[in-house]
């Protein structure tokens, strides 16, 4: 445990999402206290996932956690932290708190299933293979969560105050402002979390932040701009998929993407821009999450609330089936004719989408739509890059399906939108660090910040410690 002393100058350490898009974790040290900003799991490449087993901090020494949002690459290491002795509070918005209940329990279940499978088939180096964390660890983590309203300052630890503002990314997603009040002069750190987009369905727009000494900005799409009309593109993919007479398989995150797809499919149906196809949401988690959306008007835009207010079902297209049961999910394999299956995981790394892909990728009538960012090392990325085959459950599956990508549906701000948010600061921060991006994307955004805004900026280096006070 660090000694608490007034002389400690505040610092920030990059413990994840530096040079990569997952494992979001930033350690703030100030006045002898330690506050973790996000506590995410590394995902994707094996060498990254292995880092989840070697936390580079002492859970018992962390005083509090502030979460930007519930996605597991920002929250999924909370059970590991608690297992490591953390006994502080986890601060987040009300929407995030509700989503964590679903996401952390699901993450624990996946860990337990993986360990069981590894023991059954003997493919782990460890004997017996253990889960990274258990359902019990997840429950302990959930018991530490405290929900806060947007825009209302709250105390994180003595000497550190936080304000959460809408990030527009998924339900409950926030930018995080940390004010370090016991240093002189006080220092302010603002973290973008995952930034969403302006004028998108369901979610309210990102809110601008007026000032900061140090800014952490994500860069998932730091080197790209999104297609201008993803809705027309979606309509075209659906019409063409229907014309081919096969299934349209959409790997989608249970949180955010699934709900946006459901909203858009209903809108397109009502406008007669697509035929009404049977739509199956094959994900118990997505079904739970969809229910949570209606409980958080503080996150929702006027159009969504208007529909809810008129007693409408904003996320219900004409022929919608919610599939909870695993047997009903398998039974979908036998269905023929045009249909749409939305299932997790979003990058086809696991989940029910795998058995649909395994069954239908070899069929030329099938269409696969990848509606968002596909990280390096994932099956989704391989499909997006035109791989002739993919491995699923140990089998080589030939890809004869048509594969379409739809970047414009991303829940992430593109390069122009990231710069739009940064321009909201009324004066240049002393320093800006670019995080949460693959190396090219992060460098490209840093170059743009330097050239267009004239700010001092650097790409965050993993493990580096940087000062927070001037
Ligand atoms: Zn996210």
* Closest of 50, 297, 29 to residue 150, by C-alpha: 297
Task: Give 436 Cα–ligand 1 centroid separation in angstroms.
Answer: 10
Query: CA-CA distance, 265 to 279, in Å (whole number)?
Result: 9
Task: List, as one string, the DSSP characters of 50-90.
Answer: GGGGS-SS-GGG--EEE-S--SHHHHTTHHHHHHTT--SEE
Q: Which residue from 249, 445, 273 is spatially nearest to 341, judged by alpha carbons?
A: 249
Do the Cβ atoms of 279 and 320 come closer than 8 Å? yes
Question: pLDDT grade, residue 4 (50/70/90)?
Answer: very low
User: pLDDT band at residue 122, thresholds of 50, 70 and 90?
Assistant: low
Q: Are 12 and 28 in contact (CB under 8 A)?
A: yes
Q: What is the DSSP string of 127-181?
A: SS---SS-HHHHHHHHTTEEEE-TT--EEEETTEEEEEEE-SSSTT-EEEEEEET
Outline where DSSP puts E strands in 181-272. Answer: 187-191, 214-218, 247-251
More confident residue, 53 or 283: 283
Residue 252 CA to ligand 1 centre (angstroms)? 13
* Higher-scoring residue by pLDDT: 8, 25: 25
Q: Interior CA angle at 176 toward 172 and 180, to 5°?
A: 150
Ligand 1 centroid–CA 404 distance in Å is 22
Question: Has residue 238 got a pLDDT over 70?
Answer: yes
Q: Average pLDDT, whole number, for the chain?
A: 92
Please indicate, yes or no, whether the overall pTM of this predicted structure exceeds 0.75.
yes
Ligand 1 ion: nearby residues, β-carbon < 5 Å = 71, 194
Q: What is the pLDDT of residues 316-337, one digit of tens each?
A: 999 999 999 999 999 999 999 8
Residue 134's pLDDT is 95
Ligand 1 centroid to residue 255 C-alpha, Å:
9
271 CA → ligand 1 middle, Å:
30
Which residues are bridge partners to 215 per DSSP? 190, 432
Q: Which two tokens stand for residue 270?
A: 């009502």
Domains of the chain (ranges, CATH numbers): 11-224+411-467 (3.60.15.10), 230-409 (3.40.50.10890)
Distance 194 CA to ligand 1 centre (A): 5
- In the reported structure, the alpha carbon of residue 414 is separated from the centroid of ligand 1 by a whole-number distance in angstroms of 14
Cα of 105 from ligand 1 centre, angstroms: 17
CA distances from 213 to 32, 34, 181, 458 (A): 20, 19, 13, 14
Q: What is the pLDDT of residue 125?
A: 63
pLDDT, mean of residues 174-188 = 94
- Whether the upstream peptide bond of residue 403 has omega within 30° of 0, thus cis, is no
Strands (E), 331-463: 339-343, 367-370, 389-392, 395-398, 402-405, 431-435, 457-459
CB count within 10 Å of CB 222 equals 28
Average pLDDT, integer, range 415-435 = 97
Q: Give residue 5 CA to ligand 1 midpoint distance, Å.
A: 35
pLDDT tens figures, 52-96: 888 788 899 999 999 999 999 999 999 999 999 999 999 999 999
**Residues in the chain, overall count:** 470
114 CA distance to ligand 1 middle (Å): 23
Structure confidence by residue, pLDDT tens digits, 376-394: 889 999 999 999 999 998 8
Q: Which two tokens stand for residue 371?
A: 């509606």
Q: Report the share of the chain in percent with pLDDT over 70.
A: 97
Confidence at 8, pLDDT banded by 50, 70, 90: low
Q: How far is the CA of 90 from the centre of ligand 1 (A)?
A: 17
Q: Over range 161-178, report the average pLDDT.
A: 97
Inter-residue contact 411 to 226 (CB < 8 Å) = no
Say if residues 213 and 332 touch (Cβ distance below 8 Å). Answer: no
DSSP 43: -
């Amino acid at each position: 445990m660090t000694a608490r002393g007034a002389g400690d100058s505040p610092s920030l350490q990059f413990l994840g999402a530096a040079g990569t898009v997952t494992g979001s974790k930033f350690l703030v040290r100030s006045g002898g206290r330690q506050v973790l900003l996000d506590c995410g799991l590394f995902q994707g490449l094996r060498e990254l996932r292995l880092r989840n087993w070697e936390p580079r901090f002492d859970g018992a020494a962390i005083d509090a956690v502030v979460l930007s949002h519930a996605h597991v690459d920002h929250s999924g290491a909370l059970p590991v932290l608690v297992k490591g002795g953390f006994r502080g509070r986890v601060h987040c918005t009300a929407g995030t708190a509700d989503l964590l209940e679903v996401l952390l329990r699901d993450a624990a279940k996946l860990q337990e299933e993986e360990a069981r499978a590894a023991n059954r088939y003997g493919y782990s180096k460890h004997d017996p293979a253990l889960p990274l964390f258990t359902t019990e660890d997840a429950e302990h983590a959930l018991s530490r969560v405290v929900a806060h309203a947007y825009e209302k300052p709250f105390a994180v630890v003595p000497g550190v105050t936080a304000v959460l503002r809408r990030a527009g990314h998924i339900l409950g997603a926030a930018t995080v402002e940390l004010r370090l009040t016991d240093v002189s002069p006080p220092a302010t750190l603002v973290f973008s979390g995952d930034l969403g987009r302006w004028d998108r369905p369901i979610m309210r727009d990102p809110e601008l932040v007026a000032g900061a000494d140090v800014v952490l900005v994500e860069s998932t799409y730091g080197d790209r701009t999104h297609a201008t009309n993803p809705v027309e593109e979606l309509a075209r993919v659906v019409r063409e998929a229907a014309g081919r007479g096969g299934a349209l398989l959409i790997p989608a995150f249970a949180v955010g993407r699934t709900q946006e797809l459901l909203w858009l499919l209903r809108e397109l149906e009502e406008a007669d821009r697509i035929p009404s196809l049977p739509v199956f949401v094959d994900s118990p988690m997505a079904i739970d999450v969809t229910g949570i959306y209606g409980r958080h008007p503080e996150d929702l835009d006027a159009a969504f609330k208007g529909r809810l207010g008129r007693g409408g079902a904003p996320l219900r297209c004409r022929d919608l089936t919610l599939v909870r049961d695993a047997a009903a999910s398998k039974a979908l394999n036998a269905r023929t004719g045009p249909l749409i299956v939305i299932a997790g995981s979003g990058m086809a790394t696991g989940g029910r989408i795998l058995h649909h892909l395994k069954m239908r990728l070899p069929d030329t009538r099938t269409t696969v739509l990848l509606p968002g960012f596909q990280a390096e090392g994932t099956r989704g990325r391989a499909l997006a890059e035109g791989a002739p085959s993919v491995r699923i459950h140990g089998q080589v599956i030939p890809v004869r399906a048509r594969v379409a990508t739809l970047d414009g549906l991303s829940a992430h701000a593109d390069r122009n939108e990231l710069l739009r948010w940064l321009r909201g600061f009324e004066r240049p921060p002393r320093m800006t660090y670019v995080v949460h991006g693959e190396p090219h994307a992060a460098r490209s955004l840093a170059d743009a910040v330097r050239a267009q805004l004239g700010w001092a900026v650097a790409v965050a280096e993993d493990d580096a410690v940087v000062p927070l006070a001037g």
